[in-house]
Chains A and B, each alone.
Chain A
Amino acid sequence: MHTHMFRHMFRTATFASALAATLATGAAGQASELRVGFSADALTLDPANHRNRETETIIRNMYDGVLTRDAKMAIVPELAESFRQVDTTTYDFTIRQGVTFHDGSPMTAEDIKFTFDRLILDNAMGGQTSPRKGLLGPLKEVTIVDPRTVRFILSAPWPILPAMLPFQEVVSKAFVEKEGSAALATKVNGTGPFRLVDWRKGDSIVMERFDGYYGGATDIPPVGKACVDRVIFKVIPESASRVAALLSGDVDIINELPAHAMNQVARNANTAVVTVGGTRTNFVALNNTKPPFDNVLVRKAANHALDKKLIIDKILNGTATPLNGELSPDAFAFKADLPEYAYDVAKAKALLAEAGYPNGIDVTLDVEGPFKDTAEAIASLLAKAGIRARVEVGEASLLTKKWRQDKDKVGDMTLTSWGNGSLDPSDIAEPTLQTGGRGNSAGYANPKVDELLVKASTEIDKAKRAAMYHEAQAIVNDEAPWIFLWLPQDIYGVSKRLSGWQPSADSRINLHDACVK
């Protein structure tokens, strides 16, 4: 803290020579303050009214949920003490006692029921329906069994309910009823380790420690109040500025540290790089519905033509895991022994010739602006094997429209990704590989895979479920609807003054146990 304060005062001093006398004021007292250089501002502070990862990261420090995940992504109880599955469509949660909201009022089962009613009932949010309703699948009803137990009732079996609950946070019924639903956008009364001090839009979000915090999830030590007095999320969208802020000691944590800046942060005496396995599968979706990629030989050729390791090495600085399928190695039912499409230009050319393209093919590769570099690298490598790809940069919204429609897909290839924050196969395989899936850019349609996915989505027995997903992965790997790419790690930069914090794979920045020296 002292180094920072000094540098801070030094800057102000050099700026205004005549005002040297005023420098004595400096920062307030000896309060410990943790600053996060964050890539985006929150859209809203209402936990039920957004679909945005960055917003959730910020909100999650002020609101707790029924369940949460630890740094290793295991699901642990938070506001619930425990839960059990009563039958295939019913789960009972025992509510923790002694939890209070920031305004001092106690949290009860009523608040939990209210929170979920607000999420799943239509028009429950002051006339609006929560955009997060879709994250709760077939959740039909939440009832109060007794003051300590809340019952979640599904309309169909949904084994991933516990995996999806950490995405929701509990609000105070009395607070919403008194202030109105719309007030939650800017006012916070949660049960989290920090309370809101000020939200300076587009600039920063300031929170301070909530001394009445019940302690947090018992499975994530240490249990107790937050370590630091104050947390500030500073909004710095420009990556170079974010890195600069970290290097100058202005902030203690930055997210989305670009791979090419890693060396600088690692070399700096006061900072370090920390990484965590990501959850966003990157792939090149090939248009399976029309030539040339409707031919499996051509698709396999494309996989053999790409030197994944070179790109991971040079552009991602080694911070990605090569994949042979759609799942992250950390996901449930990940099949580790999928055959790899080795980098082999000769084989790629041979396969192309066998498919009827002895002179190669000319195709287009669509990509969003931020990933232009990677796309161009991929295109230049593919060209060496005869797959001459022309990169076309487009806006995200336009690409979505072009590639997510089912009929008459016109593109050839697109570099894209799909997040799988719950680390459950159904969350990624269904949208991207099931026939007609929302994210099925490749237009892949295999009835056997569809059948396996549908059965697995309601199968309760874990072993049986895993076996189904294994089989599906093997088929997908063999049919190669995509050029399988990699899973990038999430890279963060931290100050060496920071302790007690690890990044987590779902991009949450949980500052409860973080301390600064």
Chain B
Amino acid sequence: MTSLAEAPESGRDDGSPLARNLRLFAGNRLASLSAAVVLAVVLMAVFSPLLAPHDPYETDLFRRLQPPAWMQGGEWAYLLGCDALGRDILSRIVYGARVSVFIGFTVIALATTVGILAGLAAGYLRGWVDVVISRLVDVLLGFPYLIFAIALMAMMGPGLQNIVLALAYKEWVIPCRVVRGETLAAREVEYVEAARALGAGRIRIMLSEILPNILSPVIVVATIRMANVIILEASLSFLGLGVQPPTASWGSMVADGRAFMLEAWWVSTFPGLAILVLVLAINVASQGLRDAFDPKFHD
């Protein structure tokens, strides 16, 4: 999105821009609520063993495709019904949060770190460093995301670690582009000139002068992309390239349930809802972040 490449001018010198913007964010009720939802999901992931009513891996062929509690044939002990092997769907959703949260955070953390370093280097050092990195970014962007991920998974084999790698391999180009753009703009500003005049080394300038001032858009982009990454993991699991059984990921639960759509719609629907809620919360919160960090939207 093109509008992020503008450097905020005013307010740079009255305290940390980060703290100021965070305060603005807290004032937005909807965004704060969504952030709370995300936090709740993270807590659910951390405390799964305490929250899940049943063992998510325990199969019981006699409970195969049991309907949710409020339908005929359901039991209240198994609130959202059971899947094709008689496992409790609610418990699997609780445990499934671990996968989504883990992948969302790890991929973004990895990609953002690599992206920041690459973007800083490309934007500040320019020259052949910039050429190489920019061309690499171009080539990687030319691949449709899903095909690249599928091909990588086919190469590396399934499993959680490989999903993280497969997604991170393409994801880093996005923070890299943002950081590069911001760095290009920032390097001409006075305080950078001043630092250079004072004899500070290039790496020092990159890390201590430029980086803190471009963090805002990077954080915003990172949160937006997190939502995307979670959906991508779900898509990969949907295509059969996701986590290994018996681990439950929300995406693989939707995929497994899709054959039973006609007889047992609940197997796919509830995990899909979970994805929706988490991703929506992330998106609303990140929208709030953007509104808070971008001075143009202050009323």
Direct contact of A and B (CB under 8 A): yes
| B270 interface hit (Cβ, 8 Å) | no
Quick check: B85 and A264 within 8 Å, CB to CB? no
B170 within 8 A of A: no
Given A261-B262, A398-B157, decide whether A314 and B61 contact each other with a Cβ distance below 8 A.
yes
Q: Which of the residues B62, B84, B85, B158 comes within 8 Å of A393, measured between beta carbons?
A: B158
- Shortest B61–chain A CB gap in Å is 4
**B190 / chain A contacts, CB cutoff of 8 Å:** none
Q: Is A310 an interface residue (CB 8 A)?
A: yes
The answer to whether A393 and B263 touch across the interface, beta carbons within 8 angstroms, is no
Please give me the residue from chain B that is nearest to A263 by CB atom: B263
Q: Known: A311-B61, A373-B85, A393-B244. Contact between A261 and B154, CB under 8 A?
A: no
Contact between chains at A264 and B262 (CB < 8 Å)? yes
Contacts of B65 in A (CB 8 A): 260
CB-CB contacts of A238-256 with B at 8 A, as 1s and 0s?
1110011001000000000
A376 at the interface (CB under 8 A from B): yes
Which residue, of B157, B244, B259, has the highest number of chain A Cβ atoms within 10 A? B259
Q: CA–CA, A393 to B261, complex, Å?
A: 22
Q: Is the CB of A240 within 8 A of B262?
A: yes
CB of A243 within 8 A of CB of B262, answer: yes
Q: Which chain A residues lie closer than 8 Å to B84 at the CB level?
A: 260, 315, 373
CB-CB under 8 A for A372 and B62, given A240-B262, A258-B259, A394-B158 = no
- Provide the A369-391 mask, 1 if CB < 8 A to any CB of B, else 0: 10011011100100000000001
Residues in B whose Cβ lies below 8 Å from that of A219: none
Question: Looking at the complex, which one of B240, B246, B258, B263 makes contact with A369 (CB distance below 8 Å)?
Answer: B240
Indicate whether B245 reaches chain A with its CB closer than 8 angstroms. Answer: yes
With A376-B245, A376-B246 already in contact, the answer to whether A244 and B64 are too (CB < 8 A) is: no
Q: Is A211 an interface residue (CB 8 A)?
A: no
**Chain A positions 390 through 419: 1 when the CB is less than 8 Å from some CB of chain B, otherwise 0:** 011111001000000000000000000000
Q: Tell me the interface secondary structure of chain A in the complex.
A: helix
List of B residues within 8 angstroms of A394 by Cβ: 157-158
A398 to B241, CA, bound (A): 13
Q: Is the CB of B259 within 8 A of A377?
A: no
Residues of B within 8 A of A310 (CB): 61
Q: How far is the CA of A311 from the CA of B61 in the complex (A)?
A: 8
Which residue on chain B has the smallest CB distance to residue A383? B59
- A261-B262, A398-B157 as given contacts; A372 in contact with B245, CB under 8 Å: yes
Number of residues of chain A lying within 8 A (CB) of chain B = 28
With both beta carbons as reference points, the residue of chain A lying nearest to B268 in the complex is identified as: A240
B260 within 8 A of A: yes
* Contact B61–A377 (Cβ < 8 Å): yes
**Contact across chains for B85 and A380 when beta carbons are under 8 A apart:** yes
Beta-carbon contacts of B77-103 to A below 8 Å, as 1s and 0s?
Answer: 000000011000000000000000000
- B244 and A391 within 8 A (CB): yes
Within 8 A of A (CB), among B273-293: none
Whether A315 lies near B64 (C-beta < 8 A) is yes
What 0/1 pattern do residues 46 to 68 of B give for CB contact below 8 A with A? 00000000000001011011000
Q: Which of B154, B256, B261 has the most CB of A within 10 A?
A: B261
- Cβ contacts under 8 Å, A240 to chain B: 258-262
Cα of A377 to Cα of B83 in the assembled complex, Å: 12
> What distance in Å separates the Cβ of A37 from its nearest Cβ neighbour in chain B?
14
Name the residue of chain B whose CB is nearest to the CB of A307: B61
How far in angstroms is the closest Cβ of chain A from B114?
Answer: 28
CB of B244 within 8 A of CB of A260, answer: no
For the complex, what is the distance from the CA of A264 to the CA of B262, rounded to whole Å?
8
Q: Which residues of B contact A393 (CB under 8 A)?
A: 158, 240, 244-245
* Distance in angstroms between the alpha carbons of A392 and B85 in the assembled complex: 16
Contact indicator B263/A244 (Cβ below 8 Å): no
Residues of A within 8 A of B59 (CB): 376-377, 380
Q: Is the CB of A260 within 8 A of B245?
A: no
Please, could you name 24 A-B residue pairs with CB atoms under 8 Å apart, sorted by A?
A238-B258, A240-B261, A244-B262, A247-B262, A260-B65, A260-B84, A260-B263, A261-B263, A314-B64, A315-B61, A315-B84, A369-B240, A373-B85, A373-B256, A375-B245, A376-B245, A376-B246, A377-B85, A380-B59, A380-B85, A391-B244, A391-B246, A394-B157, A395-B154
The 10 A-B pairs at the shortest CB distance, nearest first, are namely A240-B261, A314-B61, A369-B240, A380-B59, A391-B245, A373-B84, A239-B259, A314-B64, A376-B85, A376-B245
Extra contacts, 20 of them, besides A377-B85, A392-B244 (Cβ < 8 A), are A260-B263, A260-B264, A261-B262, A261-B263, A263-B263, A264-B263, A311-B61, A314-B61, A315-B61, A373-B85, A373-B256, A375-B245, A376-B59, A376-B246, A377-B61, A380-B59, A393-B240, A393-B244, A394-B157, A398-B157
